[in-house]
Structure 1
Amino acid sequence: MNLPADHIRLLFGLKLRQLRIDRGLSVSELAQQSGLSISYVTEIEKGRKYPKADKISALANAMQVDYDTLVSLKLSKKLEPISDLIRSKFLTEIPLELFGIDPSDLLELLAEAPAKVSAMIRTFMDIALSYNMSVERLYLTMLRSYQELHDNYFPDIEADADRFLNEFSPSTGAASPQPVPEALLNNLLKTRYNIRIDYFDPLTHPELVSLRSFFRPESQTLHLNAGLTAEQRSFILAREVGFQFMNLKNRPYTYSWVEVDSFEQVLNNYKASYFASAILIRRDVLVARLSELFNRDTWSNEDFLQLITDFESTPERFFYRLSNVLPSHFGVDQLFFYRFNHTPGQTAFQLTKEMHLSRQQGPRSIVNEHFCRRWIAWTILQELQFLQQNKGFDGTLCRAQFSEYADSGQQYLLISVAHAFQPHFQQNMSVSMCFAVNDTLKQKMKFLAPPHDVRALTNIPFRIVNQTCERCGIFDCRERVASPSVLQKKRQFEATKKAMEALR
């Protein structure tokens, strides 16, 4: 692998420093014995300088090692994790500046405390291996962190979407959603970007059933799954327009299962998807409609569901667009979003997507534990299963709930929508957005404003909840599916500490 010059400098500096320490030499002693200045040796060890051949020879002689041993890029066992990191795609492909990290600062940190950083990196790698974390999953986790850092609102992409709408689909009024017509998207792809659109039948190509689309750059062809709904099809076409309109060259070619080679592809896929949502759900119209909905005296599940229908959107895309505008235009930034999949007849629920803008307590993905079944995100799936099996229901449900954590007392307003997802897989899906009940939320949502008490609202049920069964102390819970093993261990540990204190 050809490494960048700064990485080679760092590897050389780390190796020199470790050899010096192994031989019990200080920086000044090595400088004196090699005939170099202390400051120059320090710059080498920090990866800022790479010495010329004569100076490398002087350093090798001072530490009694061969020239070739010193210039070899192979590090000692202690530094292998750092070597693996430097040789991996992480430092070359992850745009660290997106997270406010100067790459030179990271390299300096590696040089300053290589043993400690090496141990930390090895720990992270072991955790990733233990939970079978793929590179793709790591990229998606980093993307989610990037979204959360920016409250999932990106003015530059919003500006691109506005520029597109002004040019191709100007609004005729703030009261009407008027999504960009599918015909317009089709026409733009064909005439402006010379992209051919073709359809494949998942029934005759069952190996492609999980794909909604894939793009073949060599023939400039966008292949669409013929079984897509109108909403799904419009989004994929808008996403492809986003790639072209924003000139995002390094991109994945598949959707919704995304095969990627780099973090840049994941990031560009997100940018194109954000753009698609922004042109299909206009920001100004959404803000106006939400303001009207929030200004009502009572909450209506049916009106919220109608709002999604008016925008001709899927529930998931609508919730995600909410996560863009609520923090930026309403100041409601203590929220989180998640999606669960459920196969009717089974007891397991799979958390398949999550994003947390709230820094407070909230349900998160926890390995080998069972989520509290009192949250509306699960009960709505159980209700949907019952209606499908007993009433022939094939529509969409919307439910709201106030949830209060049994331990902390933190209250949340949760809005959840459930519907059939991928009928050929016989799965249902719920998407939910959860808002921390605080002063900001009460100011924005009239039905929460004082003197309203969330426990007393008749049209929104109130429930005491927890995070997982394993951590929950509500012992008379009818929904419990596992013993409170984590809580019991915690209490046992606290009892042991008290007993030890008593012995003193």
Structure 2
Amino acid sequence: MEQDYIKLIFGLKLKQIRTERGLSLYGLSKLSGLSKSYLNEIEKGKKYPKPDKIVLLSEHLDIPYDDLVSLKLDKNLAPIGEILQSKLLKEIPLELFGIKENTLIDLISNAPQKITAFISTIIEIAKNYNFSKESFYLASVRSFQEANNNFFEDLEQAVLSCAKTYQIDLAKKINTEELEDILVEEFHYTINNDELEAHSELDNLRSIFIPKSKTLLITKSIDDAQRAFIYAKELGYNYLNIKDRPYTFSWIAFDQFDEVLNNFYASYFAGALIIPRQSLVRQIKALFAKKKFKSKDFLSLLAYHNASPESVYQRLTNILPKDFNLKNLFFLRFSHKKGTADYILNKELHLAKHQSPRARENNEHYCRRWASLKVLDAMGESGSEHEFEIQISNYPQESKQYLILASATADPFKADRFRSISIGIELNSQLRRKVNFLEDESLKTVDVGVTCERCSILDCDVRQAHPTILRAEQKELKTAKVVSEVQEKYSK
């Protein structure tokens, strides 16, 4: 364990013992003969006393020397010890969120019991929701994206610089062979298209990179757009000089936070390379300028780039906030198996915190009126390669509306499984200024909820469960109102 944390644990224990003995810093100073300022620095984790000073504290606080220097903490401070020993504070780059590690340590040392209670609560919630280390890391990256409106100028400039360096024409559709040539010629990659096919256990992986030999194992079953993304991502790792990274795609596990963050950086780089900002902005402006929305116009935008629909939707979350000032938006990705009632929300991004569609509801039924679920059902019925839906989703309980664009495609690796991606943009004055087709009469408005258990739409023909949570909340409000009325009656 790092010396700073050893100091902090000793300081926490000393402060706890002193407080239990009913001593102030001044009182312990008089008792031990050590200065008040010196004791204060010990308790804040800034200094570690020499053995003779520890002997003095041991004698005057009536606690064995070994107990005082032990790194074992009692149950009240144990959660803090777990956090410190896990080196979680070192793994997460707190500076990304404007937090200095010393500030956090000072906070812990100044209010250890309150911080302990808070940490214990977080741990308990994480256990109840099966919140893994990877989930925590991914949530941290998502918060980082949201704090920056999911736009990173340095990565955008890196893509432009890379294109100039290797003479990639961003005005044309990205060519997969060209990206492969750059990896082979400039970074000495070997591309192997056969090895993964020999292992049925690896059928859920698209690629594996072996750094020692710079071999990229890539599955044959992917289409050209998926291959282009993998190549662009590998180019991103190399051009950005990223060392700590996952070596499988999709990832299996993350050992440290830097791998998660760097995976995001490389993915952002790949999306910005395959779907250049300048051309996408031009296309969006042309789409928004139309007085009538036609699905074929949006589908043409999706097909223009050598990218999957999901990559384009993801790229929209970079471009819309920055170039159109449409910051109140969300992105959702669902997975669904044909013939089941399970719709799993496995990826989300919310640039405005008040947006409702989230993956937080435990064992509840997401609203079947969402466009992102409708396209999944349509995929199961039609058997087509791509289903698209547009609607204005009206949330009556929140008095908010969102313009929703949603697409569904088949999962290339699993039979009878589909994925949907959707983007929702809050319908406000800014969106009305930017988008002409909002007045199109063919654009339908649909009342939606979040989950059936919380929904007040009583005439819903696709409801999956009774509004049990909503009724419980309403009952509590009525009870509180009657209690208030009774109190007022007998207070006169």
Report deviation, 1:201: 6.1
List 4+ stretches of structure 1 deviating above 6 A: none
Q: Is the 8 A contact 2:150 2:317 kept in 1?
A: yes
1:409 maps to 2:399? yes
Cα distance in 2, alignment partners of residues 102 and 418 from structure 1: 42
Cα distance in 2, alignment partners of residues 496 and 126 from structure 1: 30
1:60 maps to 2:58? yes
Q: TM-score, structure 1 length as denominator?
A: 0.94
1:461 maps to 2:456? no
Could you say which residue in structure 2 is the equivalent of 1:496?
479
Could you say which residue in structure 2 is the equivalent of 1:386?
381
- When structure 1 is superposed on structure 2, of 46-55 and 82-91 the one drifting more is 46-55
SS at match of 1:251: coil
1:355 maps to 2:345? no
Q: Is the 8 A contact 1:94 1:263 kept in 2?
A: yes
Report deviation, 1:170: 4.6
Cα distance in 1, alignment partners of residues 414 and 342 from structure 2: 19
- When structure 1 is superposed on structure 2, of 185-194 and 465-474 the one drifting more is 185-194
Matches within 5 A, 1:65-464: 65-171=63-169, 176=171, 178-200=172-194, 204-365=198-359, 366-388=361-383, 393=384, 395-422=385-412, 424-448=414-438, 452=439, 457-464=440-447
SS at match of 2:77: helix
Report deviation, 1:398: 1.8
Q: Which amino acid aligns with 2:458?
A: F
User: In the TM superposition, what whole-angstrom CA distance separates every residue of 1:191-218 from its partner, at most 9, and x where no partner exists?
Assistant: 2112211123665421000101111122
The share of aligned pairs that are identical, in percent, is 40
- When structure 1 is superposed on structure 2, of 307-316 and 52-61 the one drifting more is 52-61
Q: Is the 8 A contact 1:169 1:180 kept in 2?
A: no
- 5+ residue gaps, structure 1, are none
Q: Which amino acid aligns with 1:444?
A: K
Report deviation, 1:5: 1.9
Cα distance in 2, alignment partners of residues 141 and 181 from structure 1: 33
SS at match of 1:433: strand
Q: Is the 8 A contact 2:334 2:372 kept in 1?
A: yes
Cα distance in 2, alignment partners of residues 133 and 229 from structure 1: 33
SS at match of 1:326: helix
Q: Which amino acid aligns with 1:470?
A: E
Cα distance in 2, alignment partners of residues 424 and 363 from structure 1: 26
Q: Which amino acid aligns with 1:417?
A: S
Could you say which residue in structure 2 is the equivalent of 1:478?
461
Q: Which amino acid aligns with 1:69?
A: D
SS at match of 1:493: helix
User: In the TM superposition, what whole-angstrom CA distance separates every residue of 1:317-368 from its partner, at most 9, and x where no partner exists?
Assistant: 1011111111111111100000111111112111111110122332111111
Cα distance in 2, alignment partners of residues 171 and 291 from structure 1: 22
Q: Is the 8 A contact 1:341 1:430 kept in 2?
A: yes
Q: How many residue pairs were aligned?
A: 486
Q: Is the 8 A contact 2:394 2:400 kept in 1?
A: yes
Cα distance in 2, alignment partners of residues 254 and 164 from structure 1: 24
- Indicate how the Cα distance of structure 1 residues 433 and 258 shifts in structure 2: closer, same or farther if over 3 A, else same: same
Q: Is the 8 A contact 1:79 1:118 kept in 2?
A: yes
Report deviation, 1:79: 0.3
- When structure 1 is superposed on structure 2, of 56-65 and 5-14 the one drifting more is 56-65
Could you say which residue in structure 2 is the equivalent of 1:47?
45
Name the Cα RMSD after superposition.
1.5
Cα distance in 1, alignment partners of residues 450 and 418 from structure 2: 22
Report deviation, 1:70: 1.4
Cα distance in 1, alignment partners of residues 309 and 463 from structure 2: 29
Q: TM-score, structure 2 length as denominator?
A: 0.96
Cα distance in 2, alignment partners of residues 262 and 198 from structure 1: 28
Could you say which residue in structure 2 is the equivalent of 1:19?
17
Q: Which amino acid aligns with 2:409?
A: H
SS at match of 2:6: helix
SS at match of 1:414: strand
Report deviation, 1:423: 5.1
User: In the TM superposition, what whole-angstrom CA distance separates every residue of 1:406-440 from its partner, at most 9, and x where no partner exists?
Assistant: 21221110000111122533211110000000111
SS at match of 1:222: strand
Q: Is the 8 A contact 1:179 1:279 kept in 2?
A: no
SS at match of 1:430: strand
Q: Is the 8 A contact 1:374 1:465 kept in 2?
A: yes
User: In the TM superposition, what whole-angstrom CA distance separates every residue of 1:178-236 from its partner, at most 9, and x where no partner exists?
Assistant: 23321221112112112211123665421000101111122221110111111111100
SS at match of 1:411: strand
SS at match of 1:77: coil
Cα distance in 1, alignment partners of residues 24 and 194 from structure 2: 68
Cα distance in 2, alignment partners of residues 258 and 291 from structure 1: 39
Cα distance in 2, alignment partners of residues 385 and 170 from structure 1: 39
- Indicate how the Cα distance of structure 1 residues 5 and 179 shifts in structure 2: closer, same or farther if over 3 A, else same: farther
- When structure 1 is superposed on structure 2, of 282-291 and 358-367 the one drifting more is 358-367
